[in-house]
Structure 1
């Protein structure tokens, strides 16, 4: 069935259909007096408003909305038990993240809650959070495990992600993150836990076919470069694609490792080195920036977006939605932080939150821009210009979200 979307104030999209890099990163195509033609859930064409089109069965009045590609969030921890607002209050009062972790908080606090909650409870909680993120414009997700740190709970999280893939009208990529932290029962026995991940968890996940990617928290005091290389090489042997939490707290060399192993992405990268940037660019690894996390942890040091872009890096943005260090559902807020604190332009922020996020998930031919042949994954922005997405910060101006040509959210 052919559908025509008309009365659009602006149609805003990355200029390229595959990836935004180099000069294209700071460009958007902005069309006025134009309509979008959909066919069977895909974008067929963008035509002048006064041009007739045969075979239209349905017309959607955009009522003057700005239309952009729906956001792609390539780094979330959406399945978890409990929340950590008390820890957040402690940080406001001056406690440091690692200090709170030593008090029993941090990731292991969420691990305890996730282990104890039923699969159904985790699913219900995840559905609510996912739908809140859809209401802020996200229609494609990556979701990680990582709050089990034991085989059965990691599998439980991944089963929840599988249920989300089957029940929710969005695209979801699943990532196994068993090496997110060393669980309390393995303190002082990290080698044994690394072996558990390699010889028990990864084969079990592979056997059940419930994750496409393997990720690891490569960081000082957690999994060092040798640990990370061992786990990621084992994952690669089993056929997993790779992602890495890299160089968030220290310049450990996670960026270099990502380049060495040909990871799909390396994420955080607050302390990535010049050598790490070069190796990632050479290998085509996507730089996934998580400025909401840096903001939420009240740090003044953000990832070096300018240096990455100057080097020709592919830069994407993500919420890093999780209960401890970035409890936000809002990609528009993340774009705002990226512009105000990382030095991105609005155009760079939109490219990073759409097409480049899709590229990092291997979905650049499916979503992330408004080009013929791609899914009609669109957001309808109630604003006079796409710039209001960042300018009018803290306000959700998204009126509606479309996935594959069907509305999956409409503001009441």
Structure 2
């Protein structure tokens, strides 16, 4: 039998959301029309070989005489690519429940940060934790994401603010991918805050001249991130960090325009960043710049919800200019203690007015794009890793509109 006719596993009688736009028919009707751009295949099949997708499409498109080591019949269940959470701070020490209470009493995020709380509070707890403790504390949070069909997660450092602890965080993040069957993309976020006792200039030099070279030499980061805000890093030091990242061959990402419009979206676009994340205070010019650069706008509704922010990302402008939009949990101990990618989708729809197709694309195709991984994951296409989420739902909208409900039937990573 020809090699192309033999598969390791075949899933039959599924309804697919390939998330490959070219898979949608111009003559689509019914559910397929509602989900235009999601690549709906009503009677679909997926086949895997050596951990990769060997076929994804209409069941009657499988090669004649095909064989498989295992055949699974999905009985009409919906199949999406494995979900991707493209912005998290899963690895950290301690918690910030006391700050949550302070915000309920009227304190703002910026006020708490200036008083030595916020990020610096977590820095103290993280510096005090060894690598094993960081892994152990992160695993339950990771398990909640896995239980909702997440097959790839991004994890940032940024709670060390010294070389030793930043390296420890990144090693812990890598170990998460060894302890669980999940892909982990790591981002070095040494430029998250300025540690006490240092000036912004001196700390930026430390990040560029010592921390980043050590991280790059150890091969622990897939990207470099910066927190660009008036309470953190302005445009000049951000540019220094990005230039250093580029010198080490690492792509960049940016926390941008969360608390104020500081031109972060345009700055991210100017540097060709993979993504600009938050954007609650970005404007139309920033949205246009992101679209021109191909920089993904990663929306983090959990933070807007937790901080009770009234500003909203310029979603209409992002649409109008054709920017890519992703959605993530921003799981962190302070501003978004969220471990549900499904709830993040609901929040993105309710708070930011994303559509169901935008939410679904935001945690699959566009999230993969935000990590520079779209050539490997994020859609059901031949040659990509066979990462699937299989759902007990009647309509894909259920993944977005239900609260506190997890309809995951099964999760597949690498064809297993």
Compute the TM-score of the two structures, normalised by the length of structure 2.
0.91
Query: 1: CA distance between counterparts of 2:179 and 2:247?
Result: 31
Aligned with 1:173: secondary structure? strand
Match in the other structure for 1:377: 387
Higher relative contact order (CA 8 A, sep 6+): 1
Summarize the alignment of residues 321-360 of structure 1 with structure 2, pairs less than 5 Å apart: 321-360=331-370
CA contact (8 A) 1:136 1:329 kept: no
Match in the other structure for 1:142: 154
Match in the other structure for 1:84: 96
**Per-residue deviation at 1:185?**
2.7
Match in the other structure for 1:72: 84
Correspondent of 1:123 among 123, 126, 135: 135
CA contact (8 A) 1:291 1:302 kept: no
Query: 2: CA distance between counterparts of 1:38 and 1:53?
Result: 16
Deviations 1:128-176 (A, max 9, x none): 2212111122111111100001111011101112222334322111111
Query: 2: CA distance between counterparts of 1:310 and 1:50?
Result: 36
Correspondent of 2:45 among 27, 35, 45: 35
**Per-residue deviation at 1:278?**
2.3
**Per-residue deviation at 1:47?**
3.4
Match in the other structure for 1:410: none
How many residue pairs are counted as aligned between the two chains?
Answer: 399
Aligned pair in 2 of structure 1 residues 152, 383: CA closer, same or farther (>3 Å)? same
Correspondent of 2:312 among 275, 279, 302: 302
Q: Aligned-pair RMSD on alpha carbons?
A: 2.1
Unaligned 5+ segments in structure 1 are: 407-412
Match in the other structure for 2:326: 316
**Per-residue deviation at 1:199?**
1.1
**Per-residue deviation at 1:192?**
1.1
Q: Which moved more, 1:315-324 or 1:266-275?
A: 266-275
Deviations 1:18-43 (A, max 9, x none): 9xxxx999522222233222222222
Match in the other structure for 1:133: 145
Query: 1: CA distance between counterparts of 2:350 and 2:331?
Result: 20
Summarize the alignment of residues 41-120 of structure 1 with structure 2, pairs less than 5 Å apart: 41-45=51-55, 46-48=57-59, 53-120=65-132
Match in the other structure for 1:6: 12
Compute the TM-score of the two structures, normalised by the length of structure 1.
0.92
CA contact (8 A) 1:285 1:314 kept: yes
